[in-house]
Structure 1
Amino acid sequence: MAQDISFNVRGNNGEDLRVGAWRFDGAGNGPKVHVQAGVHADEIAGMLVLHLLMPRLRQAESEGRLKGSVTLVPQANPLGIGQFRQGRILGRFHDATGQNFNRSFDQSQALRRPATNVQHWQKSLVELAATADLVLDLHTDDEALPYVYVHRAFWPRGRALAAALKMDLAIIWDEGGDGSFEETLIAPWLRDGDTAQRFAATLELRGQADVSDRLAGQDADGLYAWLCSVGVIDEVRPLAQWPVQAVEMGHMETILAPRPGVLVFEKELGDFVEEGQRFARILGRPGDASSEVILHAAQAGRMVTRYRDRLIAQGSVVAKFTGSRVSRNWAGGLLDPN
């Protein structure tokens, strides 16, 4: 039976907060897997995916078909999950400190005695995943196509995972520098050259509003098929043939809002645009035609993400596109620096 390995972390007022975690242990020598969702607490889709995956793992375990071990953390961030403000959850940043929940994991790991409750929580998550061979971190974007972040060391092996989840896009990265969970976990693997039997990826499961039984069931099916393909579950589940476009991180074009105002998209997610083609406009002062700003594509590519709200602040990310050359705005690091 699945083992409940839940643990407590400190809340903002020193109270204990529970992180639910379960481990399914198999009878063979298959890989150890760690899958978590909700590090950014307002990214809900992965929580439902893992909820639907659990009964299937429980059945595989009870029937003796589980050859590896799988640890699931369906709602990884109890600090952020309670941060409701005026009816909306604000789960990307820690209220008390302003820290992005998926940054600076490397700093918390360097501390024997974490100084803050966020560091204590981060250290606990990394320690839970540290012995795994395969690690998946489930996130969502604002509004987005499903896509996968994967370090170059794990490509093209990551193509099978992307295809299993019917993800059209894989973003390949080399350097992060901000201490995300994935980056921190794989750092010793990269340092020691120990990547041949290991794998890690961050999965972006569409947008924050894309939470449904249909989509979550499709993603749970994909994860289950992938677990079969890597020897965790003794079951033949052919992976779907699916076209996956691999794009270098530096080739992604991120378009920022040049002014605040009402955001009107003229292109949909997945649409292809030519260089210089208009895809959106911002009405700075509705009623004043001179306040309208037209937004154009920086290079040819597909719209992968777009801003969820339709009133945007200056400097916010309007949209991200694939590209075929290095973006003139590329300065290294993560796709989303904050």
Structure 2
Amino acid sequence: MAKDLSWHVTGDAGNALHIGAWRFDGDGSGPRVHLQAGVHADEIAGMLVLHQLLPRLQACQDQGRLKGSVTVVPQANPFGIGQFRQGKLLGRFHEATGQNFNRAFDHALAMERPASNLAQWQKRLVQLAAEADLVLDLHTDDEALPYLYIHRSFWPEQGLALAAALQVAVVIVWDEGGDGSFEETIINHASPQLAATLELRGQADVSDALAQQDADGLWAWLCINGVIDEVAVIAEWQGDVVDMGCMETILAPCAGVLVFEKGLGDCVEEGQRFARIIGRPGDPTSEVTLHAAQTGRMVTGHRERLVAQGSVVAKFTGTRLSDSYSGGVLDP
């Protein structure tokens, strides 16, 4: 049976919060794997994927076909999952402090005695993954193609098989961090053979069919890495690779009604219009047209169609360094 590694932290109101975690141990001949979802609690798709994967791993262990070990944390963030306000889950930022849940893991890890309940949770999560050889953090964007976010040291040698198994559309390769994300903290403070973030499309892309597809991809990836005693065949990867600095992030120049004229996956030429914002419906002079900064492919889009000034409207691939890139992480 899987070993129960679940634990509790104290919530903002003094209540006990539960984090479910399980480890499936094989015969020790394969690598150690850590899989988690929901660090941003409003990104649900990965939770369903891991929920579907758990019984398959249990059956594999029971049949004696598990070679490595797999730790699974399907819903990693107990703080954010309780932040429902007027029917909407506000799970990206910690309401009590305003901190992005996927930031400052490095600071929490450095504390001998974490100064807050949030830091205590972050440190425990990193410690749980620190001994793993292969670490995957499952996220989603607003609306998006499936894409892989990976450090250059892992691409393409370790990362190509993952991109192929999950059939991601885009791989974004990064060099600089500095924000203390979970992935960056694992890379800086442990010795993984691979640590990466998988963006499983958009926040609304939650279904049994998509979860089954992604769980099958993860299963195949586990097989080809020698975690499971099973032969798996994956298709050749046909996606795009782009350096993070070449990604174009388009911000809303004004508030208003967002109307996309291009869709996810569409290619645009430099200067081509792809959306418009109607600042004052009823006033045709309030329409602002948005244009592509360079030739590329639309990877993400803003999920809400009423945007605030400064919101991320869309992200595109590019082939040259973006004029707006100043180093650091992809998202503001």
- Work out whether the TM-score is over 0.5: yes
For 1:231, the aligned partner's letter is: G
Which secondary structure does the structure 2 equivalent of 1:262 belong to? strand
Identify the residue that residue 212 of structure 1 maps to in structure 2.
207
The answer for unaligned runs of 5 or more in structure 2 is: none
TM-score normalized by structure 2? 0.98
Question: 2:186, 2:321 → 1: CA distance?
Answer: 27
1:239-254 equivalence runs, <5 A: 239-254=234-249
Question: 1:19, 1:55 → 2: CA distance?
Answer: 18
Question: 1:36, 1:325 → 2: CA distance?
Answer: 33
For 2:206, the aligned partner's letter is: V
Question: 1:262, 1:155 → 2: CA distance?
Answer: 39
- Percent of aligned positions with the same letter in both sequences? 71
1:284 aligns with 2:285: no
Question: 1:228, 1:155 → 2: CA distance?
Answer: 20
Q: Give the Å deviation of 1:14.
A: 2.1
For 1:162, the aligned partner's letter is: A
Q: Give the Å deviation of 1:242.
A: 2.5
Which of the residues 259, 266, 274 maps onto 2:269? Answer: 274
Question: 1:307, 1:49 → 2: CA distance?
Answer: 23
1:99 aligns with 2:99: yes
Identify the residue that residue 147 of structure 2 maps to in structure 1.
147
The answer for unaligned runs of 5 or more in structure 1 is: none
For 1:176, the aligned partner's letter is: G
Q: Give the Å deviation of 1:159.
A: 1.3
Question: 1:220, 1:124 → 2: CA distance?
Answer: 26
Identify the residue that residue 177 of structure 1 maps to in structure 2.
178
CA contact (8 A) 1:10 1:120 kept: no
For 1:311, the aligned partner's letter is: L
Identify the residue that residue 237 of structure 1 maps to in structure 2.
232
Question: 1:264, 1:325 → 2: CA distance?
Answer: 27
Q: Give the Å deviation of 1:315.
A: 0.3
Which secondary structure does the structure 1 equivalent of 2:82 belong to? coil
1:99-138 equivalence runs, <5 A: 99-138=99-138
Which secondary structure does the structure 2 equivalent of 1:217 belong to? helix
Which of the residues 251, 260, 271 maps onto 1:256? Answer: 251
Identify which range, 162-171 or 136-145, moves more after superposition. 162-171
Question: 1:182, 1:242 → 2: CA distance?
Answer: 23
Identify the residue that residue 56 of structure 2 maps to in structure 1.
56
For 2:160, the aligned partner's letter is: R
Q: Give the Å deviation of 1:28.
A: 3.1
For 1:161, the aligned partner's letter is: L
Q: C-alpha deviations, 1:90-121, integer Å up to 9, x for none? A: 00000100000000000101111111111011
Question: 2:214, 2:136 → 1: CA distance?
Answer: 13
Q: Give the Å deviation of 1:74.
A: 0.1
Question: 1:13, 1:208 → 2: CA distance?
Answer: 28
